[in-house]
């Protein structure tokens, strides 16, 4: 009765929290950049760590109680520590808090849960900030690696004149095609030389002489002189058949023929630019089919000369390209290696950024998701002192006291009787 009269009333507020057991995953494909994925394991996938035990210890931490007391305008010494119970075979966390009245108990429960969730959010933010800081440090290293590789590629491109290794392979392919064209040109040049040689043999005249002949017989004054030569030749032939070698008429005809011939040769030398000794024979007149053959010889020889010049220029170009490509071989191989390194560095850099960004969504990796299953209740009856239990305890204590007194009262007669009983021999 003294306990019931003096013990203060306590009201208990109950709340329940639950941890969802499933994990979460996310995957993102970035076109031409990379692939990023994040996966949060289930809170109960690790058998060595229990998130419910972690949260149980965190709910009873001093800073949680201090935060809750500060929100209520009290000192944490004025609040009793919460009673946290884990329900076996479940992910439930049961919380019991006590207050001097029902409203105070309920407010204490709400303040405790709010302080707990604020602390969880702060811990998650600190974890993300720490991860982001370490991730930014790694990203800076990756960025510097990409810059260094890019600078090396730019220097190599400026030194070699190549933008990439494919350009070098394209130049090799073009060089091979040029060599094939050179081989085809050699065959064509040989065929053309054979054709010109056949015409030279048929005409018994070199191409230069054929060209001079055509040029000469295209000159009108020279043709007129040839007519005079022909006339004087006829007169000389007629005088030769009629008169002797020393006859004045024959000598006159001979002089006239020689004068006409010299005039024709002089004109020929003026037209062709050759000396008298280099002039072609005057009897090679381009008439009939011979004129066509002379024209064909000149034309085919000109074509052969063009092919020869083209072959010479192409051969020089092939040699120059071969020397240049030989010098570029090592640079192209080095450029390809550098570009491969750059692609790898860029992929790692993009993946690091994507991974850093994706980890921002994985806020439940270390501190799993927890939800309020049951809000703090408003008690209707005090939890202590329990009157029925106190009355039962008082009755039991009174009964045991009476039994003790009774045993003490009956003990003396029993002892005296035992002492006075004679001993048997």
Read out DSSP for 36-58?
Answer: EEEEEPPTTS-TT--HHHHHHHH
Lowest mean pLDDT among 38-47, 179-188, 194-203, 337-346: 38-47
Helix axes 207-216, 165-203, angle to 10 degrees: 70
Looking at mean pLDDT, say which of 60-69, 258-267, 324-333, 345-354 comes out highest.
Answer: 60-69
Of 338, 225, 230, 335, which is closest to residue 271 (Cα–Cα)? Answer: 225
Residue 217: strand, helix, or coil: coil
Q: Report, as an integer, the average pLDDT of 87-96.
A: 87
Residue 115: pLDDT band (50, 70, 90) is very high
Helix axes 51-59, 102-160, angle to 10 degrees: 120
In whole angstroms, what is the distance from residue 108 CA to residue 72 CA?
8
Tokens describing residue 391 = 């009355």
Residue 79: strand, helix, or coil: coil
Q: Report, as an integer, the average pLDDT of 271-288.
A: 57
Instruction: Give yes or no for residue 225 having a pLDDT over 80.
Output: no
Sign for the pseudo-dihedral over CA of 362, 367, 371, 372: negative
Q: Which residue has the higher pLDDT, 379 or 44?
A: 379
Tokens describing residue 372 = 């309020």
Looking at mean pLDDT, say which of 7-16, 151-160, 178-187, 283-292 comes out highest.
Answer: 178-187
In whole angstroms, what is the distance from residue 394 CA to residue 343 CA?
85
Instruction: Give yes or no for residue 27 having a pLDDT over 90.
Output: no
pLDDT at 295: 78
In whole angstroms, what is the distance from residue 160 CA to residue 156 CA?
6
> Parallel, antiparallel, or unpaired: how do β-strands 34-40 and 83-86 relate?
unpaired
Q: Find the length of the chain.
A: 425
Residue 37: pLDDT band (50, 70, 90) is low
Instruction: Give yes or no for residue 299 having a pLDDT over 70.
Output: yes
In whole angstroms, what is the distance from residue 51 CA to residue 59 CA?
12
pTM of the model: 0.48
Cβ-contact 385, 3 below 8 angstroms? yes
Instruction: Give yes or no for residue 325 having a pLDDT over 90.
Output: no
pLDDT at 29: 59
pLDDT at 425: 47
Q: Report, as an integer, the average pLDDT of 205-231.
A: 73
Q: Report, as an integer, the average pLDDT of 31-47.
A: 55
Tokens describing residue 212 = 């001079």
Distance of CA 129 to the CA centre of its chain: 28
In whole angstroms, what is the distance from residue 354 CA to residue 347 CA?
10
Residue 282: pLDDT band (50, 70, 90) is very low
Looking at mean pLDDT, say which of 62-76, 335-349, 379-393 comes out highest.
Answer: 62-76
249-259 as b/e, with b when 16 or more CB fall inside 10 Å?
A: ebeebbebbee
Residue 27 host element (H or E)? strand 24-30
Cβ-contact 269, 279 below 8 angstroms? yes
Instruction: Give yes or no for residue 287 having a pLDDT over 70.
Output: no
Q: What is the residue-averaged pLDDT of the chain?
A: 78
In whole angstroms, what is the distance from residue 384 CA to residue 355 CA?
55
Q: Report, as an integer, the average pLDDT of 144-160.
A: 82
Instruction: Give yes or no for residue 259 having a pLDDT over 50.
Output: yes
Backbone angle region of 245, left / alpha / beta, with phi > 0 → left and psi within -120 to 50 → alpha: alpha
Cβ atoms < 10 Å from Cβ of 131: 16
Residue 216: pLDDT band (50, 70, 90) is low
pLDDT at 111: 92
| Helix locations, 245-288, DSSP H | 248-272
pLDDT at 113: 92
Q: Report, as an integer, the average pLDDT of 146-150.
A: 83
């Amino acid at each position: 009765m003294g306990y019931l009269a003096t013990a203060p009333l306590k009201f208990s507020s109950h709340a329940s929290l639950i941890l969802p057991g499933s994990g979460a995953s996310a995957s993102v494909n970035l076109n031409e950049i990379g692939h990023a994925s994040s996966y949060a394991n289930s809170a109960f996938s690790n058998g060595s760590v229990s998130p419910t035990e972690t949260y149980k210890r965190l709910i009873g931490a001093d800073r949680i109680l201090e935060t809750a007391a500060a929100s209520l305008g009290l000192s944490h010494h004025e609040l009793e520590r919460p009673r946290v119970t884990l329900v076996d075979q479940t992910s439930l966390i049961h919380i019991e808090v006590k207050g001097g009245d029902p409203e105070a108990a309920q407010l204490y429960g709400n303040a405790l849960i709010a302080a707990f969730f604020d602390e969880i959010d702060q811990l998650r933010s600190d974890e993300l900030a720490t991860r982001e800081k370490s991730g930014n440090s790694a990203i800076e290293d990756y960025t510097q690696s990409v810059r260094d590789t890019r600078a090396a590629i730019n220097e190599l491109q400026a030194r070699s004149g190549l933008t990439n290794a494919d350009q070098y392979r394209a130049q090799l392919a073009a060089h091979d095609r040029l060599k094939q064209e050179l081989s085809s040109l050699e065959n064509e040049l040989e065929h053309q030389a054979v054709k010109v040689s056949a015409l030279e043999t048929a005409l018994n005249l070199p191409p230069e002489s054929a060209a001079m002949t055509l040029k000469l017989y295209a000159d009108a004054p020279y043709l007129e002189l040839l007519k005079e030569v022909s006339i004087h030749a006829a007169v000389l032939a007629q005088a030769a058949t009629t008169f002797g070698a020393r006859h004045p008429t024959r000598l006159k005809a001979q002089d006239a023929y020689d004068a006409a011939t010299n005039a024709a040769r002089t004109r020929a030398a003026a037209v062709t630019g050759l000396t008298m000794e280099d002039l072609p024979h005057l009897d090679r007149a381009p008439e009939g089919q011979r004129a066509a053959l002379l024209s064909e010889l000149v034309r085919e020889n000109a074509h052969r000369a063009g092919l020869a010049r083209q072959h010479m220029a192409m051969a020089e170009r092939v040699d120059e390209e071969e020397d240049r490509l030989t010098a570029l071989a090592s640079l192209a191989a080095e450029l390809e290696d550098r570009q491969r390194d750059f692609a790898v560095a860029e992929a790692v850099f993009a993946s690091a950024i994507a991974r850093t960004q994706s980890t921002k969504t994985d806020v439940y990796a270390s501190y799993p998701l927890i939800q309020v299953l049951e809000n703090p209740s408003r008690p209707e009856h005090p939890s202590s002192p329990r009157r029925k239990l106190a009355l039962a305890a008082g009755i039991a204590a009174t009964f045991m006291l009476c039994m003790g007194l009774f045993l003490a009262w009956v003990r003396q007669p029993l002892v005296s009787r035992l002492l006075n009983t004679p001993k048997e021999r």
